[in-house]
Amino acid sequence: MTEPLIGVTTYLDRARWGVWDLPAALLPAAYPRYVREGGGLVAMLPPDEPGAAAAVLARLDGLVVAGGADVEPVRYGAEPDPRTGPPARERDAWELALIDAALASGAPLLGVCRGMQLLNVALGGTLTQHVDGHVEAVGVMGRHPVKPVPGTLYASLVPDLAEVPTYHHQAVDRLGAGLVASAYAEDGTVEAVELAAPAWALGVQWHPEMGEDPRVVRGLVRAAAAARG
């Protein structure tokens, strides 16, 4: 049987390479390496028309919503905090449509940092627009321990206290409909959220693709293989 095909969302930004300086679909190389380490094949998903999301998901076995820019606060009914970054409206619309399509189809879904926050917003939750102490320095990953909640999907994948690579300044505030918190930081920040079985929808606040622990992505790939049948 061929490896499950996992779509990974990408950034839309300006980039320079060779003689070119153009808009580009960007994805840190750690993401495809992470999915391959978990046993999956990778399809990069640049922002597209939201109406195409269901057709795209129909070709995939699973979805990773990657980290990146802050979710626009209007998406959860808030005014922007001065410390909230500029909106990425095209990406917000595309990834929300992909999340909706994944949830509707039952495709396994992993949200990473922004991806976890967007999953929460997609289900009617809200975000805290700034938390102190979770970014050590601009462009530098920090590390801190994350404690799983027993009995959750996340705890079945990572049952122990784990040191994770982290870079974020926003966090889940009110949980979206059906979501439960499945891991916490020492300061009480929600570090993972998930839907109850039979759904396989998990969001993590940290960046597992920047670490050495493939247990979460292996869980995603196994679920994608099982869902494909």
Q: Which of 66, 83, 73 is nearest to 12 (CA)?
A: 66
The set of residues, in sequence order, having a beta carbon less than 8 Å from that of 203 and lying 6+ positions away, is: 110, 111, 112, 115, 116, 117, 119, 120, 192, 193, 194
Instruction: Encode pLDDT of 137-183 as tens digits.
Output: 676 788 999 999 999 999 999 999 999 999 888 999 999 999 999 99
Instruction: Encode pLDDT of 93-147 as tens digits.
Output: 999 999 999 999 999 999 999 999 999 999 999 999 998 765 556 767 889 999 9
Catalytic positions are: 113, 207, 209
Domains annotated for the chain, with CATH where assigned, are: 5-228 (3.40.50.880)
User: What letter does residue 83 receive in the DSSP assignment?
Assistant: T
Instruction: Note the pTM of the prediction, 2 decimals.
Output: 0.95
